[in-house]
Structure 1
Amino acid sequence: MTQSDEIETLVRQRIRALRIARGWSLDDLADRCFFSASTLSRMETGHRRIGLDQLMVLARELGTSIDQLVEPEDDEDVVIRPVRDESQGRTTWSLTRDQGQHGLKVVRMRLTQPPARAEDGDLPVHPGRDWLTVLSGTLLLVLGDRTIRIEAGQAAEFSTMVPHSFGSEGGPAEVIMMLDQEGERTHRRDL
């Protein structure tokens, strides 16, 4: 089977699955698309090729896009293979491909050094909020003049308009962070 045949089969399966998920019969979708039910049936079963003009109509009526209908299916659409980025005593793994639905990026971070302090220089400030949960170890979060200890199993949320930094205490600490767009830009630059 060629890649073209595989994609065509996948498109047919997706059209049928979307139709059924909406609770539509062949007649229901055919009426919406101005096809006959037998034409639609032959398209779904592979007894008739689907033309681009027909695919456009089907995508619109099914509430999807042609891109989503023809997108190849492989592990890459499910499995994220993190890339290590080691610097300044931190290892980070991006756990999302792109900014999420609400503009958030999820990052796993392993910290091995203590946080920067205000007396060490300027701490970053940026619009937005950061959210994190500590998976293992102890995280020290410096917020302005305060140092807050966050243990494994605990979480924190804070305004990033307060000068801040974070690092580990007494050994490595692993955290999962959700960063908004400004937070990602700032923390990725620091790494």
Structure 2
Amino acid sequence: MTTSNDDVLRGVGPRLRALRQDGGLTLAALSERTGISVSTLSRLESGGRKPTLELLLPLAAAHRVPLDELVGAPQTDDPRVHGRPVTRGGQTIVPLSNNPGGLQAFKHLIAASTSDAEPALRTHEGYEWLYVLSGRLRVVLGEHDLVLKAGEAAEFDTRTPHWFGSADRRPTEFLSLFGPQGERAHVRARPRSAAQTATPEVGDRSGSA
């Protein structure tokens, strides 16, 4: 199956939004970095403005990604994912999917740390599911402060203030699935009861289908 130019361009907006949110940037902060107005950035992300080379070049520089990654142009007859790792704040994030606008998969590696800094919680649109591969992951979700061990999972609305980090300053590795606009990963640790509706769901996925 081939992908048309229109399909590629339609994927630019969600990709721009994901890059900005992953970097913890507001539209105003990105506007300062690129010289592109907030209204133009907002229209690019929503699909209301057609991306041009003049706009994409400063955005690629601001996000420190190659232009082809920013556009997400398909690679002909190659099913492999050629994600480029991004490292920031002691964490390396490896993209595991090529699906701008839909569910996206990432592998996270948190390096050993000696910092006692307080978690900086952030929010954005979307829904996220986490699965710990190794180490102990501290997950702060609003008023909840949790520690997930290898084999445990959690899912939550990313409009809830959240933060991830090593629970014991040792290296930690986990997978995440992220869906924009409230799109959910249809995997749960256990059925949700009425009493759990307002709380993040956490459970052990080891050995489950």
> How high is the TM-score relative to the length of structure 2?
0.45
Structure with the greater alpha carbon radius of gyration = 1
| Larger fraction in helix | 1
> How high is the TM-score relative to the length of structure 1?
0.48
